[in-house]
Structure 1
Amino acid sequence: MKKGLLTFVALLALAVPALSACGSDKSAASSDQQTGTAIKQVMTANLRGEPYTLDPAFASDTTSYWVIDHLYEGLYRYSQNGDISEGAAEKVEVSPDGKTYTFTLRPEMKWSNGDPVTAHDYEYSWKRVLNPQTAAYEPSALYYIQGAEAYNTGKGSVDDVQIKAKDDRTLIVGLKDPITYFPKIMMSRAYLPVNKKVVDADKNWAAEAKGIVTNGPYTVESWDHNSQLTIAKSQRYWEKEKVTMDTVHFKMVNEATTYYQMFKTGALDLIDSLPIDVIEQEKEKEEYKSFPDYSIYTYTFNVEEKPFTNAKIRQAFSYAIDRDILTKNVTKGGQLPAYGYTPFGVKTPSGKDFREEVAPYYQFDPVKAKQLLAEGLKEEGWTELPPITLKYSTAENHKKIAEALQEMFKQNLGVPVKLENQEWKTYIDTFKQKNFQIARMGWGGDYLDPLAMLELYTGKSSRNFTNWANPKFDELIEKAKVEQNEEARMKLLHDAETILMQDMPVIPVYFNNENYLNSKKIEGIRFSVTGTPDLRWAKRVAE
């Protein structure tokens, strides 16, 4: 385990962009120094695939999030320097007991269709996510609110949910317990608003550009499915004069070599997930940007699908992976081998990183892997494993990783594994329907805290697709949510992670390191360790 690699402070520093092109310039246009003519503030990035949805209630993937984060604004938002600050809320008051938040909305907030943004929109949107009939992706993100969980699970009434619009500009939210980090929790996309009138009028309102109404810095100008999506600066956004990038074209090119060549020829201004074979030659160039990311690359088990109903067999597959070889020789992008679930990046009261406070939970050990496999087979009364299919989403880099794991399982366990890939939108549905034995996925925290990573695997989490649940794990997470002593809270989270790693419903593979190529013609992109690149303050400085 490498020591001292990332600290909380260092990660926060990485959230700050090069701001030289942003400043207080009121104009979205810059001038070419040679000709004096205005430079159109237009850029082209690559999504790599079709967004699963642009309705924040159902979004679950970074492809969708990248667009959504530019379209909608919550009561809080990330500021230009990466801090969590007031967004649609002009003022926030917290009761002395820490359980009641009163939000006052900005009077100038407008939807892109001209409707005022009101507290009623937020009440409607959050309760829509909680409505069990909605089947939203992330209702459990709102369970901190009094009455929310009971309503979402069919055990309570919507009238008991403590989300109340007192008037058009005042939203009152009552929490079950005092949560000092509630603003961080609210960075989840489940807290984003939608326009009630628009949603109620058409259940497919988010399927095409013309139906999408937004309250954030951008609107959807056009959407040519599976080809290109274009967003344009909203003229109704409350802070539009500070949005420097007028138009962003998102291409949807999934083949890494192709979008890399498009960047090299100037057809793309920003790409991520560089082809593995070009990383070394690009590392020393000015366009290359590399940032540790508070996220993890995993393979998820369905613990109700044989043979992964047995914990020892799940552990065997983890011990069979040589993560050092994988990150050095396959991914090559600065990723760190994951010997636990929670990434580097959170400094604790001990002065250490959370990840460094405990020894690795497992390391590459083919002898132990085979031993655990044999024990698991014996426990189940099996003489051999059933056929195993490993699923992954179509992408060149994911394919190379899947092929490397396939070979490791064969060499180190003697287990043949079939590979199956699917295009992104189909794959997301497959994963959510739990139609897999073992499948590629990953997770990034909405905020810098181990809770943002570990809470995913509670039995009541709407984002837990493993079919795994452990009452002791759930108890520790619930205690950690309300523990006010930071040292004690970290101890609870370590204990919870230990249970997760012992039961192994998910294989941590590596901690992500994001690699980008950013054109020298575009400055001011805010790269973040907890989210997608923020393009609103970007600026084209040359044609």
Structure 2
Amino acid sequence: MLKNMLKATAFATTLALATGSFYTHAFAETVYNRGAAAEAETVDPHKTSTTYEADIIRDLFQGLVMHDQKTNLIPGAAESWTVSDDGTVYTFKLRKGGLWSDGTPVTADDFVYSFHRLEDPATAAEYASMLYPVKGAEDFNTKKGKAEDMGVKAIDANTLEVTLKAPTPYFLEMLTHQATYPVNKASIDKLGADWIKPGKLVSNGAYTLAEWVPNDHLKMVKNPKFWDAASVKLDVVNYIPTEDRSSAMKRFEAGELDSYGDLPTEQLADLKAKFGDQVRVGPYLGTYYYAVKTDKAPWDNVELRNAISMAIDRDFLAEKVWQNSMLPGYSMVPPGIEGYTPSLAKYADMPQIDREDAAKKILEKLGYTPEHPLKMEIRYNTSENHKNTAVAIQEQLKPLGVEVTLLNTDT
């Protein structure tokens, strides 16, 4: 039973300069100007809420495990781990050379503190559920338990034991999410909310935070204390927010941006012709969806919500609006998660015309027709792609008696 209108994101369109383009001449400082489609709201791993922040946080911090360039799971802050025979106890061995950017060691206690902080209701973490498989985590987060009841324990300075409430084959994959990354307790205790400010933030990743000018740029510099600093080839990474995709293309062409992680899909064919293999479409694990407010009538009616969801032509959106840079989606969980098979909507195998007929009957039963339309508002983030998606859905629902108004909001 779906509450939302779904479209699973299968690919990400990216504009990038060819390998080696960031280098000017031998021994020069290497700078990467990375375009972003939105401004980060925070660099606190436990208060993150967007993918734009995730890119930055992954450069500043490192979790227990991480992905390589082919999304294979590899060691991160933990150099190895073992799993009990019943699949519920994970024992991580941290790197003995792992340091925070202030030179202090990264310890198992740092992860215990960080996991507790993520689940603490006072943190109000939007991604607290990433640790719900851990014993006692959900109870603590929902004020039904205590931090000390969580299945997280430091055996010694370099050994972390995590106990799950049930076997969870994809648990290690969940630990690649930025919300599970460690933070420095001493820094937070000393500075409070100011701990994330440039020049003050203590992190354990490949970079440290040097500057942050809102709506202009966020500058990170190589962290000499990072355990694998010798492998970090870029000296400086600048994240440059540019919401308007067309403007970003102009900045790329002018050499102001070295890459950009999104493209105006209506220009995709022209951009491919112009930039050739600099335009890349690659896999992206995520789901594009509209959340529905269900606290008031008529949207508290699940039958109504299902009718709206059925009526949306995902194939058209994927092929025409997103130029095949996405796949039609029928589950909140996208394909590609090892150990998990998503449950699909019951109407996933129905032809689109049959879905529309079924949706129309439901709407008519509930009293909605083109003559007496259902009022609906779609709010979309600033971008041509989001606007085009909303407009397409507006047109798809109109013949069924749904009058859609559109409202552009900030990202």
TM exceeds 0.5? yes
- The aligned counterpart of 1:522 is none
Task: Give yes or no for the alignment of 1:396 onto 2:384.
Answer: yes
Measured in 1, the distance between the counterparts of 2:345 and 2:365 equals 31
Per the normalisation by structure 1, the TM-score is: 0.66
Deviation at 1:261, TM superposition (A): 0.6
Shift of the 174–322 alpha-carbon distance from structure 1 to 2, 3 Å rule, reads closer
Task: Give yes or no for the alignment of 1:270 onto 2:264.
Answer: no
- The aligned counterpart of 1:204 is 193
- Structure 1 residues 382-408: Cα deviation after superposition (integer angstroms, max 9, x where no partner): x95664221111122111211222222
Kept after mapping to 1: 8 A contact 2:266/2:321: no
Task: Give yes or no for the alignment of 1:373 onto 2:363.
Answer: yes
- The aligned counterpart of 1:247 is 236
- Indicate the SS of the match to 1:301: coil
What is the aligned counterpart of 1:292 among 283, 290, 295?
Answer: 283
Measured in 1, the distance between the counterparts of 2:321 and 2:206 equals 39
- Indicate the SS of the match to 2:394: helix
Kept after mapping to 2: 8 A contact 1:151/1:161: yes
Measured in 2, the distance between the counterparts of 1:354 and 1:146 equals 25
**2:197 aligned partner, one-letter code:** E
- The aligned counterpart of 1:310 is 301
Shift of the 155–347 alpha-carbon distance from structure 1 to 2, 3 Å rule, reads closer
Measured in 2, the distance between the counterparts of 1:230 and 1:369 equals 50
Measured in 2, the distance between the counterparts of 1:198 and 1:219 equals 14
- Indicate the SS of the match to 1:248: strand
Measured in 2, the distance between the counterparts of 1:68 and 1:226 equals 17
Which aligned pairs between 1:224-243 and structure 2 lie closer than 5 A?
224-243=213-232
- The aligned counterpart of 2:3 is none
- The aligned counterpart of 1:326 is 317
- The aligned counterpart of 2:172 is 183
Shift of the 273–61 alpha-carbon distance from structure 1 to 2, 3 Å rule, reads same
What is the aligned counterpart of 2:407 among 401, 420, 423?
Answer: 420
- The aligned counterpart of 1:501 is none
Shift of the 172–347 alpha-carbon distance from structure 1 to 2, 3 Å rule, reads closer
Measured in 1, the distance between the counterparts of 2:140 and 2:356 equals 47
Measured in 2, the distance between the counterparts of 1:52 and 1:399 equals 22
- Indicate the SS of the match to 1:286: helix
Deviation at 1:54, TM superposition (A): 0.7
Task: Give yes or no for the alignment of 1:195 onto 2:175.
Answer: no
Measured in 2, the distance between the counterparts of 1:292 and 1:419 equals 29
Deviation at 1:323, TM superposition (A): 2.9
Deviation at 1:415, TM superposition (A): 2.2
Measured in 2, the distance between the counterparts of 1:357 and 1:401 equals 23
- The aligned counterpart of 1:46 is 35
- The aligned counterpart of 1:152 is 141
Deviation at 1:294, TM superposition (A): 2.7
Deviation at 1:283, TM superposition (A): 2.6
What's the Cα RMSD here?
3.1
Shift of the 319–75 alpha-carbon distance from structure 1 to 2, 3 Å rule, reads closer
Deviation at 1:104, TM superposition (A): 2.1
Measured in 2, the distance between the counterparts of 1:157 and 1:114 equals 32
- Identity among equivalent positions (%) equals 34
**1:246 aligned partner, one-letter code:** D
Which aligned pairs between 1:313-462 and structure 2 lie closer than 5 A?
313-345=304-336, 360=349, 363-364=352-353, 365-377=355-367, 387-410=375-398, 412-424=399-411
Measured in 2, the distance between the counterparts of 1:180 and 1:319 equals 32
Kept after mapping to 2: 8 A contact 1:323/1:337: yes
- Structure 1 residues 410-468: Cα deviation after superposition (integer angstroms, max 9, x where no partner): 2x2232222112112xxxxxxxxxxxxxxxxxxxxxxxxxxxxxxxxxxxxxxxxxxxx
Which aligned pairs between 1:118-137 and structure 2 lie closer than 5 A?
118-137=107-126
- Structure 1 residues 242-287: Cα deviation after superposition (integer angstroms, max 9, x where no partner): 1112211111111111111111111111012212232112235121
Structure 2: 5+ residue stretches without partners: 1-9
Measured in 1, the distance between the counterparts of 2:327 and 2:94 equals 42
Deviation at 1:77, TM superposition (A): 1.4
Kept after mapping to 2: 8 A contact 1:307/1:385: no
Kept after mapping to 1: 8 A contact 2:47/2:123: no
**2:92 aligned partner, one-letter code:** F
- Structure 1 residues 59-101: Cα deviation after superposition (integer angstroms, max 9, x where no partner): 1210111101111111111235532122111232333433322
Shift of the 157–81 alpha-carbon distance from structure 1 to 2, 3 Å rule, reads same
- The aligned counterpart of 1:94 is 83
